[in-house]
Amino acid sequence: MRRRAILGYGAAGVGAVALMLFVGWWQVDGPGAPAPVGQRPVALTEMDFRLTDHEDNAVGPETLIGRPTMAFFGFTYCPDVCPTTLSDISGWLDDLGDEADEMNVVFITVDPERDTVETMAEYVGYFHPAIRGWTGPEEQIARVADGFRATYERVPTGSGDYTMNHTASVFLFAASGRFVTMIDYHEPREFAVPKIRRALEEEMEGAT
C-alpha cells in the first residue's frame, strides 16, 4: 500500500514537472513567447517608407493605421516558405469570415528587382483576395524591413541565379499601429487564429 502511494506521488510529481516545462516552453520559446525587446518591431506610427501596392497605388505606414494589420515578407520566386505561408494566411482569413474585411493584410517583397507591380499582382491573385502585394525601390524595402525588424539577404545559387533568405514570421499590429505579436512559420492554426483575434479585439477596445 505504501509502495502504491509512493508511486502515485512520483507520478504526480512527474506530471507537475512536465506541466511546468510545457508552460515554460510556451512562455519562452513557444507561441506565448514575447518578441525580444531588441528585436521588437517599432510602431507603425514611427515608421517612414514609401512603397507601391499591386494595383499601382502609393502606400506607406499611414495606409495601415486605423485597422489591424497582418504583414509578411517574402518574394514571388520563393520555392516553399512564401507560398506555404500565404496559403496559411488565406486559411486563417477564411476562418475569420467577415472579420477578415476589418484587417490590412500585406505581402511585402524583399526582391524588388524581380517583383514588379505586375509580378506582385499576378502572384497575390493566387491567394485570398484580402492580401495586398507591396513592392518598391530597394532603399525603401530596406527601410520598412528595418522598422519591422525583419531580415533578408540575397544568396547566389549554383546556377548563377540567386534566391533570398528572409524572416518567415507573420507580423501583427493593432489598429493604433502598435505591435501586438508574431505568428511563427508553420505555427498551428489553433494558435495563429487566436493571435489574429487578439489584434482585432484591441481595435474593438480602442473604439469603445
- Domain ranges for the chain, please list them: 1-34, 44-207
Work out the pLDDT band at 15, boundaries 50, 70, 90. low
Q: What's the DSSP call for residue 103?
A: S
Report the candidate in 88, 65, 81, 110 with the shortest Cα–Cα distance to residue 206.
65
Q: Tell me which CATH homologous superfamily contains domain 44-207.
A: Glutaredoxin (3.40.30.10)
pTM, whole model, 2 decimals?
0.80
Q: Is 78 annotated as a binding residue?
A: yes
Q: Do 120 and 78 form a contact (C-beta atoms < 8 A)? A: no
Q: Is 82 annotated as a binding residue?
A: yes
45's CB contacts (< 8 A; 6+ apart) are: 61, 65, 176, 177
Report the candidate in 208, 182, 199 with the shortest Cα–Cα distance to residue 32.
182
Work out the pLDDT band at 1, boundaries 50, 70, 90. low
Distance separating alpha carbons of residues 98 and 169, to the nearest angstrom: 24
pLDDT at 159: 86
pLDDT in tens, 94-104: 999 999 999 99
Q: What's the DSSP call for residue 39?
A: G
Q: Is the dihedral of CA 116, 119, 123, 125 positive or negative?
A: positive
C-alpha distances (whole Å) from 180 to each of 42, 109, 144, 190 are: 11, 22, 17, 18
